[in-house]
Amino acid sequence: MYTRAPTTIGRRRPLTFVVLIGLAAYLTLSALGTLWTDYLWFDSMGYRVVWVRNWSWNLLLGVAGVGFAFLVFWVTLSIADRMFPRWAPFEDDDVISERFRDWITEKSDRLKIVVPLGLGLMLGLAVPMWRDQAFLYMNRQPFNSGDPIFGLDLGFYVFELPLMATVVDWLFNLLAMATILAAVAHYVRGGLRLNGRRLSAARGTKIHLSVMMAVLALVRAISYRLDRYEILLSNNAEPGFFGPGFTDINARLPVITLLSVVAIIAAVLFIVNIFRSGWTLATMSVLGWLLISITAGAFYPALVQRFDVLPNQLPRETAFIQHNLSATRAAYMLDQIQVRPFDASPNLTIEDIENNLVTIDNLRIWNTSVLLRTYQNFQELEPYYLIGRVDTDRYLDNGVPRQVMIGIREVDEVALPRDDWQNTRLFYTHGFGAVVNQANSVQSDGQPRFLLRDLPPVASSPSLELQEPRVYFGETYQPGRPVMVKTGVAPQEIDLPLAGGVQLNEYDGDAGVELSSFWRRLAFAFRYRDVNLLISGEIRPDTRVLVERNVRQVADTLAPFLVSDGDPYPVIHDGKIVWIVDMYTTTSHYPYAEPVTTDALDRLPASSEMPRGTNYLRNSVKMVMSAHNGDVTFYVADEDDPLIRAWLRNYPGMFRPMVDMEPGLTEHLRYPQDLFRLQGYLYLEYHVSNSGDLFTGNDAWSFPEDPSTSARAIDQRIWADLRGTPAAGQVLPYYLMAELPGEEELSYLLLQPFNPRTRRNMVSFLVADSTPDRYGRLIDYRMPQGGFVDGVKQVGDRIEQDPDIAQQLSLWAASGSDVIKGDLLVVPIEGSVIYLQPIYLEESGGAFPEFRRVVVVFGERIEWADSLDGALELVFGEGQGPTDPGDPGSTIEQLVIEALQAFSNAETALTSGDLAGYERWIRTARRTLEEIEALLSRGG
């Protein structure tokens, strides 16, 4: 007899249930652990009030959104139930339909709760996303400037309109879903029937649906009203400028007004339809609404654009182009740029050079990407250290300002000796010290002249001495990757390399969250899914978790309503390393202002989070963070910005005025690169003052091509740091110290040269001043009209074509070295322009480049030498350079001296046990001998 095997499905159900309950509990505890540890971290940073305010409003908005949506859906079903308390079954119901209705009847009370709750959660959980819009609305500030169409203060568009439009759209979607839900409920109960093509409804159903559609039409009328103002933020104009044009204002705007009236009439007709039989009136009102929307909303504006505007485009659009021009210049502070004539005089003399020695002594001959490789090879010192970026700054050296290059030595988290828990979490917790060199100085071996170097750090200037060199918070640390400090029974953090071992350290700061209880350890264990935090004996009651160590991530987490600059920069101040992050207020609701496009964003670093579509930008906040203790302070840099004033009211006590910044730190602030790059991009077209010039584009500019090869040849990471490849071939702005024409004080500048759009000559250069008492000053120096000033690419081509330089570059290349051309800098001096470009050599397959020559170009003179002073002497004086083919004997003699000196240095390095230095000096000597051999082979 056949018997069925006993099933095990019933037995498995309890196990499945237990697994699901366990998974839900684990996910819940992980979420709660993350939430609590976030609170602890905000509290440890001194910004607990920010966390409490944000989360309380998230909760308030979420509850309000879910509650309101639930109430609307519940009332909708309740009304439907009251309209049809009993079933009115169809005469032709089949068995399945009858069973379905019976099931609905049994579950009706439960469904009236479950369905509204599910739909309410679906819509209501989106409401907390309105938090920042709600904050801005409640703390709105005037711009004290009106829009050109309606005359409303611009603050209405920035602070009020975004939230109003969001709420109305959400309410419309809510009511549309409620109407559909009501129709479904009435159909299920039999109050709404479809017999063939004929729709019939019971009296109560018709009243309910007609009222809901009337309310929906009224909400749409309100939406149309807001659309009238949102048209100022549209990009419907064909001429190529942002904002409404002639057709938008004279055709689309009246149509929007008409549609709002039509929506109100439709709402009235829906109510009238209650007292008429059938749905004809309601159907006709909807069809009429759609017909007017299509004909008046699409066809009429298209006819106006084609037959009225296009044949007379400039006269029709002139006023609106001027609105776009004025708004864009105001939104990006282009209207604050001073335009000054620049003589581009060809009469610069050696006396002028001597009178500007402070400028000359600060000209940068070190390229940041080239220097990065040098730092990495000679100053990382240990494989677990990393110098990830080189920045520029200025310091006082015995009272004399010096432009310097600076890099911070951080822990290389991806190259630790072993990737185990103790190494990654307990031992390798911090970097150590910084590296600084003069921007314009080179040692005899082609390496930088260091002002701060080695471990422990040795400084040659008091302003660069470090009392606290440890770097627990940095630029390259991976976001969200924590370390634990104050662990073990004895100090165990890797600190300094020593002969035969390492020096250990125990963190003496108060950053991080203290693991003072089992519950905190448990919460962090769930947060990081790391059981070691519970079972390791290395964790002490005073152990601290450094939750977030990446500087930009800290800025973005504490102030998510601001946008951080893509390049935080370090400053050595008062014996400590601090980070400065420029932070921006942005909006995409500034009427008529041109938004940031993808092409503009391509000029920013890949790490930049500048939102596409931004059309108002201010660098209103400077964040300062200690590299050792993680202390964070936000300073308000632009109190005139209405957006930052709103955030100040929303987060009282979070921001401090600039006057509270520590004395001396303001001397290191710099104009941010992301802001300047975007301003420069927009200035290509918006430097004009006439709407006709903007429309025709006949005076548009372009960025010069970059003649350097340093980034491409040396550091692909730096080159790839741009979002887009087009910007990779353009000259990007750079910092330099110079005395501007007509001024006697040295300024720290960010400079961007421009060409005419279809030409290669230089038409202008724009500078942003970072000098403390002149910070933020923007000056556009215009080249003489009718004159011709070489552009950067033209000068680069002339350097390549110079016979003496080209010959020597070929000799170096033939001897197995890679020639690297650094940044070609435009330097204004006494109303004239000189150009300089450093040349570096790297042995094929070598590890680092070395400085060899610097080219100086002025007028028709092109000279180079192994020092900037030598090259300037050749251009403006009577000197002879080391590569002058007219005197090959002196060239070989100098090279022989260099080779002998290199051998002597190599012997000294070998005697002291410095094998790396020995290898470097031997390579230098060998390369010098190859140059001598190449000269002799051509008859020198």
Better pLDDT: 238 or 813:
813
What pLDDT is stored for residue 14 in this prediction? Answer: 77
Nearest to 875 by CA among 346, 349, 344: 349
Q: What value does the mean pLDDT of the chain take?
A: 87
Task: Give me the mean pLDDT over the 511-523 stretch.
Answer: 95
For 73-77, 93-97, 143-147, 735-739, which range has the lowest pLDDT when averaged over its residues? 93-97
For 234-248, 523-537, 729-743, 817-831, which range has the lowest pLDDT when averaged over its residues? 234-248
Residue 440's CB: how many other CB atoms inside 10 A? 24
- CA 565/CA 567 separation, integer angstroms: 6
pLDDT in tens, 786-835: 788 999 999 999 999 998 899 888 888 877 778 899 999 999 999 999 99
Structural tokens at position 728: 């990779």
What pLDDT is stored for residue 2 in this prediction? Answer: 47
Nearest to 473 by CA among 415, 381, 557: 557
pLDDT in tens, 367-400: 888 888 888 877 777 888 999 899 999 998 777 7
- When pLDDT is cut at 50, 70 and 90, the band that residue 234 belongs to is confident
Residue 303's CB: how many other CB atoms inside 10 A? 12
Residue 530's CB: how many other CB atoms inside 10 A? 14
- CA 10/CA 389 separation, integer angstroms: 62
**Contact predicate 921/909, CB 8 Å:** yes
Q: What residues does 396 pair with on adjacent strands? A: 401
Q: At residue 173, what are phi and psi to the nearest 5 degrees?
A: -65, -40
Segment (H or E) for 155? helix 154-155
pLDDT in tens, 740-782: 988 888 899 999 999 999 888 999 999 999 999 899 999 999 9
Better pLDDT: 18 or 905:
18
- Residue 152, pLDDT > 70, answer yes
- Residue 342, pLDDT > 90, answer yes
- Write the CA distances from 787 to 259, 502, 521, 767, 832, integer angstroms: 57, 64, 72, 21, 13
Q: CB-based contacts of 720: which residues, under 8 Å, 6+ apart?
A: 606
- When pLDDT is cut at 50, 70 and 90, the band that residue 719 belongs to is very low
Single-letter code of the amino acid located at 840: Y
pLDDT in tens, 451-462: 999 888 999 888
**Contact predicate 324/765, CB 8 Å:** no
- CA 266/CA 67 separation, integer angstroms: 30
Q: In what order do the strands lie in the sheet with 390-397?
A: 390-397, 400-408, 434-442, 448-453, 458-459
Residues of 769-792 as b/e, b for ≥16 C-beta within 10 angstroms? bbbeeebebbbbbebeeeeebbbb
* C-alpha Rg value of the chain to the nearest Å: 35
How many Å separate Cα 141 from the centre of its chain? 25
- Residue 493, pLDDT > 50, answer yes
Nearest to 160 by CA among 653, 648, 642: 642
What pLDDT is stored for residue 742 in this prediction? Answer: 85
Nearest to 589 by CA among 137, 131, 259, 255: 137
- When pLDDT is cut at 50, 70 and 90, the band that residue 96 belongs to is low
Q: Give one DSSP letter per residue of 348-395, joined into a string.
A: --HHHHHHTHHHHTT---S-HHHHHHHHHHHT--STTEE---EEEEEE
For 53-62, 546-555, 814-823, which range has the lowest pLDDT when averaged over its residues? 814-823
- Write the CA distances from 429 to 527, 726, 921, integer angstroms: 20, 39, 34
What pLDDT is stored for residue 923 in this prediction? Answer: 66
- CA 73/CA 113 separation, integer angstroms: 9
pLDDT in tens, 155-185: 999 999 999 999 999 999 999 999 999 988 8
- CA 849/CA 871 separation, integer angstroms: 21
Q: What single DSSP character describes residue 795?
A: H
pLDDT over 70, % of the chain? 89
- When pLDDT is cut at 50, 70 and 90, the band that residue 902 belongs to is confident
- CA 809/CA 820 separation, integer angstroms: 10
- Residue 679, pLDDT > 80, answer yes
**Contact predicate 321/795, CB 8 Å:** no
- CA 677/CA 608 separation, integer angstroms: 12
Structural tokens at position 31: 């979420």
Beta strands at 431-432 and 434-442: parallel, antiparallel or unpaired: unpaired
Nearest to 89 by CA among 234, 201, 190, 204: 190
What pLDDT is stored for residue 889 in this prediction? Answer: 38
- Residue 108, pLDDT > 80, answer no
With H, G, I as helix, E, B as strand and everything else as coil, classify residue 540. coil
Q: At residue 618, what are phi and psi to the nearest 5 degrees?
A: -140, 135
Task: Give me the mean pLDDT over the 246-275 stretch.
Answer: 92
What pLDDT is stored for residue 939 in this prediction? Answer: 56
What pLDDT is stored for residue 75 in this prediction? Answer: 94
What pLDDT is stored for residue 355 in this prediction? Answer: 87
- When pLDDT is cut at 50, 70 and 90, the band that residue 196 belongs to is low
Alpha helices in 231-252 (DSSP H): 246-247
Structural tokens at position 598: 């993808």
Instruction: Tokens 């140059």: give the residue.
Output: 931
pLDDT in tens, 534-545: 999 999 999 999
With H, G, I as helix, E, B as strand and everything else as coil, classify residue 61. helix
What pLDDT is stored for residue 445 in this prediction? Answer: 75
Q: What residues does 509 pair with on adjacent strands? A: none
- Residue 515, pLDDT > 90, answer yes
- When pLDDT is cut at 50, 70 and 90, the band that residue 639 belongs to is very high
What pLDDT is stored for residue 86 in this prediction? Answer: 52
- Residue 731, pLDDT > 60, answer yes
What pLDDT is stored for residue 632 in this prediction? Answer: 97
What pLDDT is stored for residue 562 in this prediction? Answer: 97
Task: Give me the mean pLDDT over the 548-567 stretch.
Answer: 96
Burial label for 667, CB within 10 Å (0-12, 13-18, 19+), is middle
pLDDT over 90, % of the chain? 58
- Write the CA distances from 334 to 341, 589, 649, 675, 778, integer angstroms: 17, 18, 28, 11, 8
Terminal Cα distance for the chain, rounded: 111
- CA 937/CA 918 separation, integer angstroms: 29
- CA 590/CA 333 separation, integer angstroms: 13
Instruction: Tokens 């910005």: give the residue.
Output: 641
- CA 623/CA 702 separation, integer angstroms: 33
